[in-house]
C-alpha cells in the first residue's frame, strides 16, 4: 500500500498563508497537519522542511535595504516559527514529533544532527528540521535536498500550490503543458525553476527523485505515498 517508506516533505511557507497576505492561516495549517498525521499513522517515516516566505524572505529583503546575511538569518528564524506551529498542530492530532534547528536555540528546538533525526523518525516521530542549512545564501529548497540526502530518504516530496511541473507557469500561461515525469537535465535545459540550481544539482548528484504535487488539495499527500499518478516526478 505504501510506495515510499521514508520521505522528506518540503512545504512552502507561502502556502501557509492560505487566503491571507501574511502569516499563518490556521485552516491551512490544520489541513497540512491532518494529511501528515494520516501518513504517520500509516507507518511512513517523515522528515519535514518548511519555508519561511509567509513571514520573511531573505532575498527579497535585500531589495528593501536589508543586508543579505542578516536578511537570510531572519528568513531562517521564520522557518523556525513555521516549524513550531506545525509541530503544535501535529501534536494536537496525537502525532509525536520533534523540532530540530540548524542553529543552536535550545529550548526552542534541538540542535540538528543526522543521527538524532534518523533516530527520531525510526521511532515513529516526525522530524521537523528548521533553520535552513544554518548558513546564508542557501534556500530552503537546498536545505530540503540536503536533509533528504542526510536522513537517507527515498524521495523528496515538494508540496506546492501547483499540481506538477509545467512547460511554463500555469498561473500565467493557459497553454502551459504538464509533465508526468522529467529528468533533472531537462529541467536545466528548459530553465524550469522548480527549485534553485543548487538544490537541483544536489538531488541529481545523489540520485534523489523529487515529486512535485499540489499539497493544498486535501488527500493528495496520501495519494502520492500510495503511488497514485498525480504530480510530476523529477528524476
3-state per-residue secondary structure call for 180-206: CEECHHHHHHHCCCCCCHHHHHHHHHC
157: helix, coil or strand?
Answer: strand
Q: For residue 160, what is the domain's CATH number?
A: 3.40.1160.10
Domain that holds residue 92: 6-234
Any domain includes 72 = yes
Residue 1 is assigned to a structural domain of this protein:
no
* In a domain? residue 108: yes
Q: Which residues pair with 122 in a beta bridge?
A: none
Number of domains in the chain: 1
Q: Is residue 152 part of a domain?
A: yes
The SS3 of residue 11 is: strand
- What are residue 49's DSSP bridge partners? 10
Q: For residue 8, what is the enclosing H or E element?
A: strand 6-11
Would you say residue 192 lies in a domain? yes
Looking at the domain assignment, is residue 217 inside a domain? yes
Q: What is the pLDDT of residue 29?
A: 97
pLDDT number for residue 61: 66
pLDDT in tens, the chain (235 residues): 899 999 999 999 999 999 899 999 999 999 999 999 999 999 999 999 999 999 997 667 677 778 999 999 999 999 999 999 999 999 999 999 999 999 999 999 999 999 999 999 999 999 999 999 999 999 999 999 999 999 999 999 999 989 999 999 888 898 999 999 999 999 999 999 899 999 999 999 999 999 999 999 999 999 999 999 999 999 9
Residues 6+ apart with CB under 8 A from 176: 166, 167, 168, 169, 170
3-state DSSP helix/strand/coil % of the chain, to nearest 5: 40, 20, 45
Q: How far apart are CA 150 and CA 25, in angstroms?
A: 31
Q: Say if 186 falls within a structural domain.
A: yes
Amino acid at each position: 500500500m505504501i510506495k515510499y517508506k521514508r520521505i522528506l516533505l518540503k512545504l512552502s511557507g507561502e502556502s501557509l498563508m492560505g487566503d491571507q497576505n501574511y502569516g499563518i492561516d490556521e485552516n491551512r495549517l490544520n489541513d497540512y497537519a491532518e494529511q501528515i498525521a494520516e501518513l504517520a499513522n500509516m507507518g511512513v517515516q517523515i522528515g519535514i522542511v518548511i519555508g519561511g516566505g509567509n513571514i520573511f524572505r531573505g532575498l527579497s529583503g535585500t531589495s528593501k535595504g536589508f543586508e543579505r546575511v542578516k536578511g537570510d538569518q531572519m528568513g531562517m528564524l521564520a522557518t523556525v516559527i513555521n516549524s513550531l506551529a506545525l509541530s503544535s498542530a501535529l501534536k494536537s492530532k496525537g502525532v509525536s514529533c520533534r523540532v530540530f534547528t540548524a542553529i543552536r536555540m535550545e529550548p526552542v528546538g534541538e540542535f540538528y544532527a543526522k543521527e538524532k533525526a534518523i533516530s527520531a523518525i525510526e521511532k515513529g516521530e516526525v522530524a521537523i528540521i528548521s533553520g535552513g542549512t544554518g548558513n546564508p545564501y542557501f534556500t530552503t529548497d537546498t536545505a530540503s535536498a540536503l536533509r533528504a540526502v542526510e536522513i537517507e530518504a527515498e524521495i523528496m516530496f515538494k508540496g506546492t500550490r501547483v499540481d506538477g511541473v509545467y512547460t511554463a507557469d500555469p498561473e500565467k500561461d493557459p497553454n502551459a503543458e504538464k509533465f508526468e515525469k522529467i529528468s533533472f537535465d531537462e529541467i536545466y535545459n528548459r530553465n524550469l525553476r522548480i527549485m534553485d540550481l543548487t538544490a537541483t544539482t544536489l538531488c541529481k548528484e545523489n540520485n534523489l527523485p523529487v515529486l512535485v504535487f499540489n499539497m493544498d488539495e486535501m488527500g493528495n499527500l496520501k495519494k502520492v505515498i500510495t503511488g497514485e499518478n498525480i504530480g510530476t516526478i523529477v528524476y
